[in-house]
Amino acid sequence: MARFDDLSELLKQFVKNGPAGCGCAVAKDGKTLYQGYFGYADLEEKRPITEDTAYRLISMTKVVICTAALMLFERGKFLLNEPIYEYFPEYRDTQVFVREPGGSVHTIKSQGPMLIKHAFTMSVGMGFHFGDSPTEKEMARVKDELQKKYGKYDIVTEVKAMGSVPVQFHPGTHWQYGYGHDIIAGLIQLISGKTVGQFLQDEIFGPLGMEYTGYRYRDGNESRMASNYRKDKKGRMIKVPGLLDEFHHPDALYESGGAGLYSTVNDYLKFSQMLANGGSYNGKRIIGRKTIDLMRTNHLNEDQLKDFTGSYLAGYGYGLGVRTLMNPVQGHSNGSVGEFGWTGMLGTYVSIDPQEGFSVVYMHQMEPNMEEYHHLRVRAVVNGCL
């Protein structure tokens, strides 16, 4: 049986080889079992990683956003099988790019409407604006036009504008990591009448006591941030600007559904424990247990699961904004069926196991994040401690 001393030794070994520093916490049934903080938040300043260190969540923002949207689903504000055009009319006549064998590209009308469920499950057919496909190049053009027209703009403005973009495949037919959860964030703002950040503060962060989590810097939170490093081919750690830091400043408007939040290990542990224990934490109910079960159930069909591949994702399917463990043997995992979570591009990781009331949060800030090396080792050790 693993012990938490084994986890500490593992994390110490991590920082010997890069990342510069890391933090990890584990909890079960609402009680913290382990906290470990090693290395530096900033190498040049010799500022150590502590429980107060904040990290860019990047894509771990998605789990928060999808939880928030499902709270509105629980209140009858939308249905998963409703067309997105019921809320954003700009998506009524979705077009699909078709590439001919000779290389020419044209568009056809989609076989069916883009549904809200498709946005949750990353099957809308929209990747990222920095990609090379015709859809992604068109997304980049739209963002450039918005920038020129408005300078700063909010997520609803962008989601509406993206409705004109032809998608890469008929909605619901494939899985493709991309813009879906930004559409979900726009839906939250449209339905709630609040900015995404304010809704999260009122409905999740405030009730859970997540004081150091948000889109915007406040109360000196900027000084808590871990610096971002790029590991070069010789293993040297080179400090580089933090991704999306421009959207943390108080005068920013944009609040993405796919990235953009910062948090501490302890703050995110509270959120993960809420999801691990039926939607409640410290006497505060956030979401229903059955809705969490729906969230962590695989929603991909056989064809879509073929797109959701890679050794890091082995054994997992995809639910409503989260990976979910379907086959521990295929995943080489000592975790439970139905364990779920996600990862951030700079090295953040959450694993949530409702069967055990158990969750782990691990964070570092490094490019490349080397997620498979770090996260799956953490997963193996913490599950071994149960």
CATH number at residue 348: 3.40.710.10
d(CA 299, CA 296): 9
Residues 100 and 247 placed together within one structural domain of the fold: no
Q: Is the pLDDT of residue 144 over 90?
A: yes
Predicted pLDDT of residue 104: 86
Per residue in 19-49, pLDDT tens?
Answer: 999 999 999 999 999 999 999 999 999 999 9
Instruction: Tell me, yes or no, whether 108 lies in a domain.
Output: yes
Q: Which residue has the higher pLDDT, 153 or 99?
A: 153
Residues 295 and 331 placed together within one structural domain of the fold: yes
Per residue in 150-179, pLDDT tens?
Answer: 999 999 999 999 999 999 999 999 999 999
For 104, the domain range is: 73-192
Instruction: Tell me, yes or no, whether 68 lies in a domain.
Output: no
Residues 208 and 182 placed together within one structural domain of the fold: no
Instruction: Tell me, yes or no, whether 158 lies in a domain.
Output: yes
Residues 358 and 265 placed together within one structural domain of the fold: yes
Instruction: Tell me, yes or no, whether 137 lies in a domain.
Output: yes
Residues 141 and 215 placed together within one structural domain of the fold: no
Residues 220 and 365 placed together within one structural domain of the fold: yes
d(CA 178, CA 79): 22
Residues 236 and 372 placed together within one structural domain of the fold: yes
Per residue in 247-258, pLDDT tens?
Answer: 999 999 999 999
Mean pLDDT of 286-296: 98
Residues 89 and 157 placed together within one structural domain of the fold: yes
Query: Which one, of 244, 221, 269, 219, lies nearest residue 54 by Cα?
Result: 221
Beta strands in 224-325 (DSSP E): 228-231, 237-240, 262-264, 280-281, 284-285, 316-318, 323-325
Predicted pLDDT of residue 88: 98
Q: How far from 360 is each of 9, 251, 347, 385, CA to CA, in Å?
A: 16, 33, 14, 12
Domain tally for the chain? 2
Instruction: Tell me, yes or no, whether 64 lies in a domain.
Output: no
* Residue-averaged pLDDT of the chain: 97
Instruction: Tell me, yes or no, whether 179 lies in a domain.
Output: yes
Residues 153 and 77 placed together within one structural domain of the fold: yes
Instruction: Tell me, yes or no, whether 241 lies in a domain.
Output: yes
Mean pLDDT of 115-123: 98
Instruction: Tell me, yes or no, whether 378 lies in a domain.
Output: yes
Which string of DSSP letters, residue by residue, matches 27-48?
EETTEEEEEEEEEEEETTTTEE
Domain end, chosen from 129, 162, 192, is at: 192
d(CA 198, CA 246): 19
